[in-house]
Amino acid sequence: MRTGPITKDVSTVQLGLSQIRVGLAASYISNTGAALSESDSLGAMAATSFTSEKEYHIREDGYPLTPKPPYAISETNTLGCAFKEITPKTLALSLGMSPATFSNPHAGTIPLGGVAPPQPLRVEAVYTFPGSTYQMIIIFPMANITSGLKLEHQLDTPAAVTLSIKAINAASNAVGGNAVWDTMPNGKILFLGG
């Protein structure tokens, strides 16, 4: 008799990396489904991740002090990736610039030192489960690149530039937001197929 954590459904086991797709938030802000295509992908990845962090306020009162149910006071959702394809578009994105002005993968100029607010982006992390068309898609309708740029060259290892992409408020009360995101202001996780 087998015991322990036995796989219930092998089609739900994740292996491999997500495809990271990026576009301008304003172009897709009213779309709650997957809106970006493979042509919007950043290409080959060395690593991908998703982190959702919540902060709680813990109340205690009485004697002896007794904890009360916590209040959720904030939530931060972040996609992380390390991309391998070094192009004007990917480097400009890592500096918070618009990807729309960089279409040639081998030519372009990226200005440095012009400090400006990061471009609001739509970011989708598309993960396809092995051996199927079953997908998990993380959608950030509005997001900012919050990391700096470090392009490190190795003797015999491809460069992998890391990005930290933070979801920002996309609800109707935000500049550029839309009412379709009022109940999910940071976006959503969508499961398709199966």
> What confidence score (pLDDT) does residue 194 get?
61
Q: Note whether residue 112 is domain-resident.
A: yes
> What confidence score (pLDDT) does residue 149 get?
86
Inform me whether the pLDDT recorded for 183 exceeds 90.
yes
Q: Confidence class of residue 1 from pLDDT cuts 50, 70 and 90?
A: confident
Per the structure, the count of domains in the chain is 1
> What confidence score (pLDDT) does residue 157 get?
87
> What confidence score (pLDDT) does residue 26 get?
94
Instruction: Please check whether residue 92 is in contact with residue 121, taking contact to mean a CB–CB distance below 8 angstroms.
Output: no
Q: Note whether residue 6 is domain-resident.
A: no
How far apart CA 137 and CA 109 sit, in angstroms, is 32
Interval 63-73 mean pLDDT: 88
**pTM for this predicted structure:** 0.90
* Structural domain for 161, as ranges: 19-51+76-192
Cite the DSSP H helix spans in the chain: 25-28, 88-94
Instruction: Please check whether residue 139 is in contact with residue 34, taking contact to mean a CB–CB distance below 8 angstroms.
Output: yes
Interval 90-107 mean pLDDT: 88
> What confidence score (pLDDT) does residue 114 get?
78
> What confidence score (pLDDT) does residue 181 get?
98
> What confidence score (pLDDT) does residue 142 get?
98
Interval 27-43 mean pLDDT: 95
Q: Return the higher-pLDDT residue of 107 and 147.
A: 107
Q: Residue 136's closest CA among 13, 51, 25?
A: 13
Q: Note whether residue 56 is domain-resident.
A: no
